[in-house]
Structure 1
């Protein structure tokens, strides 16, 4: 498996991730909870750019900053940007280089799947 392929258990965690294997299910569960609790929309702006519309609450911004900072530390190819286009809205832009588009594909699919279950 190359360093940018998705693991066979349908998780979006690539082999390039430096998070210890034993901690990956916990991080995946954190993202699943995040998708369930705060993601209000999933928009693919380009092959390398995903935008998640989030609940605009202050604690959501804090949670998003914490989760994305921890994810960036182990999967450095992700670029996460939080913004408030309006006072009551919050957006999380997720970008990857071309070599990791498949990871972004899987992340987007997981976010949509989890949102649809809720």
Structure 2
């Protein structure tokens, strides 16, 4: 996973997004309710683990791409294997970025 440099601004800009912040949060809630198996901390960030049900990998990849477009300080890696989809997330090693990562982890 490529983690952006610490000089990357810690800001989320959804002005070009096809959804609103409220719609995005609702989508996270739907995804977590339908497919989340577990969440955990990793050496460099966090991981969400989802059941690899039909369409879940595409959903996770699409959501991660949209999140990366508005929050470029995130590094994401999506992998599917052994019946699950893993979404790893990490941020630059700054207090501000780590606080946002904690908020992301708490979405569940």
TM bin (shorter chain):
0.7 to 0.9
Check if 1:96 corresponds to 2:76: no
Unaligned runs of 5+ residues in structure 1 are 5-15, 112-118
**C-alpha separation between the residues in 2 aligned to 1:84 and 1:74?**
24
Q: Distance in 2 between matches of 1:62 and 1:56?
A: 10
- 2:52 aligned residue: 56
Following superposition, the deviation at residue 38 of structure 1 comes to 1.3
CA distance in 1, matches of 2:77, 2:49: 12
More helix by share: 1
TM-score where L is the length of structure 2: 0.78
Size of the aligned set, in residue pairs, is 96
Q: Alpha carbon RMSD of aligned pairs, Å?
A: 2.0
Q: CA deviation at 1:17?
A: 0.5
Task: Return the TM-score normalized by structure 1.
Answer: 0.72
Structure 1 residue ranges (4+ consecutive) displaced by more than 6 angstroms after TM superposition: none
5+ residue gaps, structure 2, are 1-8
**1:74-113 alignment, distance < 5 Å:** 74-86=70-82, 88-99=83-94, 100-111=97-108
Q: SS of the counterpart of 1:106?
A: helix
Work out which structure has the larger RCO, using CA pairs closer than 8 Å and 6 or more positions apart in sequence.
2
Residue correspondence of structure 1 range 37-48 to structure 2 within 5 A: 37-46=34-43, 48=44
